[in-house]
Amino acid sequence: MNFKTLKIIWQAGEEGGVIPISRISRNLRLARERLRNALNLSLVYEVRYGRFQFYRLTWKGLVSYKLLKLMDKIWISEIDKDKAESIMELLDKIGEIVEGKVAKLEITTSVQVAPLVESEKEEIPTFISNNPWFSVLAKRGRE
């Protein structure tokens, strides 16, 4: 992957995941040449609307964009040693998942169910129970 490919990913990510071909370069031949590497790596795919060409990030492109944003935050800010080590461990785990070394990702969630409380039986008000329009509306709802 070269710098031009990273620039395309960055531009597309900053614009919501979609980039028109004219934003890459006004020269169509040059823009296609720059996009070739991103297309071969399955980082973007082409979307056409009439005569307009757009390129949308794939899931791999979105992950790459998120990693670029993270790297940008790391370079700009001062990070202490503990945070840097935890980031490195996380990136190692991500690399193992991407390379297929991890058989499955274990996600644990806990759900707490509140006990059911019997609510008081509510009576229908008289203006609703004696109204013939509610039976008409109920029939329409079933149809």
So what's the pLDDT on residue 135?
A: 76
Length of the chain: 143
Chain segment 71-123, per-residue pLDDT in tens: 777 777 766 777 777 777 777 777 776 666 655 545 555 555 556 555 555 67
SS3 78: coil
Q: What HEC string does 88-124 produce? A: HHHHHHHHHHHHCCCCCCCCCCCCCCCCCCCCCCCCC
**Is there a single domain that holds both residue 72 and residue 55?**
no
Whether residue 44 is contained in a domain is answered as yes
Residue 118 falls inside a structural domain? no
- Say if residue 49 is in the same domain as residue 79: no
- Model pTM score: 0.54
8 and 51, same domain (yes or no): yes
> Would you give the DSSP letter of residue 25?
-
**Residues of the domain holding 89:** 66-99
Amino acid at 134: F
Same domain for 42 and 74, yes or no, is no
Q: Based on the domain organization, do 18 and 36 belong to the same domain?
A: yes
Domain co-membership, 93 together with 71:
yes
How many structural domains are present in the chain?
2
Q: What is the CATH number of the domain that holds 43?
A: 1.10.10.10
